Amino acid sequence: MPRYYIDVRSRFGIDEDCDGLDLPDQAAARAEALKVGHRLLERWAEMPTEARSEIIIEVIDERLKYVLRVSLPEIQQGLSTA
């Protein structure tokens, strides 16, 4: 099973996932990235709007290649459709 790393990038820096997760495919990695975003939304609410809008969750594969990015609006949209 491939390993994916889920990093959170913002104007304040990068919170790198050094451990990664074994997931079956990119769809599962995207779902996991959305879960990470959902858990962080409450803390992000205290940030200025312009800082929140720059937050991106990046998924990197085991070859250390970016495979997808999830933005704050995508995370919020995922919450409204869940």
Task: Please write the tens of the pLDDT for every residue from 5-22.
Answer: 999 998 888 999 999 999
Which of the 8 DSSP states describes residue 28?
H
Task: Give the integer Cα–Cα distance in Å for 28 and 22.
Answer: 10
In this predicted model, which residue has the larger pLDDT, 52 or 3?
Answer: 3
Q: Are 1 and 61 in contact (CB under 8 A)?
A: no
CA-based angle 23:42:38, to the nearest 5? 20
* Residue 45 host element (H or E): none
Q: Work out the pLDDT band at 78, boundaries 50, 70, 90.
A: low
Per-residue confidence (pLDDT) for residue 79, from 0 to 100: 55
Is pTM beyond 0.85 here? no
